[in-house]
Amino acid sequence: MISRAGLLREIAAGLAAAGLDTPEREARALLKAGLGLSDLDLLARAEEPVAPADADRLRGLSARRAAGEPLARLSGRREFWSLDFALSPETLVPRPETETLVEAALDLFPDRAAPLAILDLGTGSGALLAALLSEYRNAFGVGVDLSHGAARQARENLVRLGLGNRSAVLVGRWALALAGRFDLVVSNPPYIPSTDIAALEREVREHDPALALDGGPQGLDAYRALAQSLPGLLRPGGRAVLELGTGQEADVAALLAAAGLPPDGPARPDLAGIARAIVTAAA
């Protein structure tokens, strides 16, 4: 039987041959996820044998990774805001830049004990909603998604994280299923122009759901729907935080301003310096 160290070297070599930028790091992550190991297990018990069935399964996963399937899809899990989320084919893989929305919301409502009503439109895996509920211990949140599969996965994640009694997940198109008002509305909508989908990285265009990516001809369809809905969703003093695609700040700001909710200053940048989270002024 091959050892953990031997399998690590074998998989890393295969990923390097496939042109991946960090083959050893990816091979290590694959073994940790596939065998349920910690970093310590790999370091201190590197010579322990791997059962043939497990080795074959990991070789199959590494072949899929070499063909462009993201590690998060292979493991079925992704961390966001230090929380662990299960994924489904209908959900986006949560990305670090989306944490910029959480940071912006925390700045808007610094009282973590506030009994906020939070709405996440296009909730996907429920990552944004769960992150906010984990910070606001007295808040109640509603997630909405057009995809039944995504809504089901979001609900499962919220329950597993102990947030099920402070949340609800609905299936619907944006705000059409809603009648209440909220203190905070967040959304990471589809914002990729339709003609740009084919040019996305392979990991995204082949493995993320098109429903969560395609924002229409200019990438603004979802923002138009959100701008129309937000005035009827926000309580007095309520705020909305929307994720932006690269170069979309001016267009989205104009849509919000036309709806009577002009942005509260420049969009908050992510760690790469890209304008990522646009915040509406208080309604």
Residue numbers in the known binding site for substrate are 188-191
Please report, for residues 88, 189, 212, 278, the alpha-carbon distance to residue 233 in angstroms, rounded to integers and kept in the order given: 29, 16, 22, 17
- Identify the burial level of 207 via C-beta atoms within 10 angstroms of its C-beta, where 0-12 means exposed, 13-18 middle and 19 or more buried: middle
Please say whether the beta carbons of 275 and 100 come within 8 A.
no
Question: Which residues fall in the annotated binding site?
Answer: 122-126, 145, 174, 188-191
d(CA 8, CA 27): 6
Positive or negative, the Cα torsion across 188, 189, 192, 193?
negative
* Tokens standing for residue 60: 């199959």
Contact of 167 with 133, CB cutoff 8 Å = yes
- Given CA atoms 152, 158, 160, 163 in this order, what sign does their dihedral have? negative
Q: How far is CA 49 from CA 12, 33, 45, 75, in A?
A: 17, 17, 9, 21
Binding site for S-adenosyl-L-methionine: residue ranges?
122-126, 145, 174, 188
